[in-house]
């Protein structure tokens, strides 16, 4: 048996991969619209595709049916993951299996935490987000479940 294998599957103590970066991919109907929403939420920026000075230049180089099929945004500080948005033909049908937590209340508890979460929720609703519900425990685990401009779930945490 290999050193990183156990009878019931791979061992989690196996050597780490050398991959240090990842991106989060969203399936959506309107990639640029969703990307711009998340840029506002996270302070990210949309950067032009490699080899092009602007998005317009890039889109003009593509066939009409391929225009607007994807968009991406990045953390200008280089810390956060790249977000990639790709157009898919089907609409959203079920709850996301993975979602983003927008961490604005880290280290806060009780009413102070709740006030910060509510303020961020109000800001995001002005951008087109939808408030789903408050998950309030009175301590430091409270969050507000929300949806982005295409109904993808996320939490203000």
* Tally of domains within the chain: 2
Question: Which residues neighbour 128 within 8 Å (Cβ) at sequence distance 6 or greater?
Answer: 37, 148, 149
Q: Where in the sequence is the domain holding 36, given as residue range(s)?
A: 19-91
- The answer to the question of residue 69 being in a domain is yes
pTM over 0.85: no
- The answer to the question of residue 55 being in a domain is yes
Final residue in a domain of this structure, among 68, 91, 114: 91
| Mean pLDDT, the chain, whole residue set | 88
Number of Cβ within a 10 Å radius of residue 81: 13
61 and 106 share one domain: no
The SS3 call for residue 46 is: strand
- Chain segment 10-23, per-residue pLDDT in tens: 556 667 667 678 89
């Amino acid at each position: 048996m290999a050193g990183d294998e156990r009878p019931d599957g791979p061992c989690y103590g196996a050597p780490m991969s050398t991959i240090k970066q990842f991106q989060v991919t969203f399936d959506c109907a309107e990639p640029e619209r969703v990307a711009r929403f998340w840029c506002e939420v996270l302070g990210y920026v949309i950067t032009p595709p490699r080899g092009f000075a602007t998005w317009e230049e890039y889109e003009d180089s593509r066939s009409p049916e391929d225009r607007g099929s994807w968009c991406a945004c990045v953390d200008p500080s280089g810390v956060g993951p790249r977000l990639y948005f790709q157009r898919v033909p089907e609409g959203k049908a079920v709850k996301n299996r993975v979602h983003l937590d927008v961490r604005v209340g880290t280290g806060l508890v009780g009413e102070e935490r709740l006030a910060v979460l509510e303020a961020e929720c109000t800001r995001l609703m002005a951008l087109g987000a939808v408030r789903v519900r408050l998950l309030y425990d009175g301590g430091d685990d409270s969050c507000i479940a929300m949806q982005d401009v295409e109904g993808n779930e996320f939490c203000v945490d």
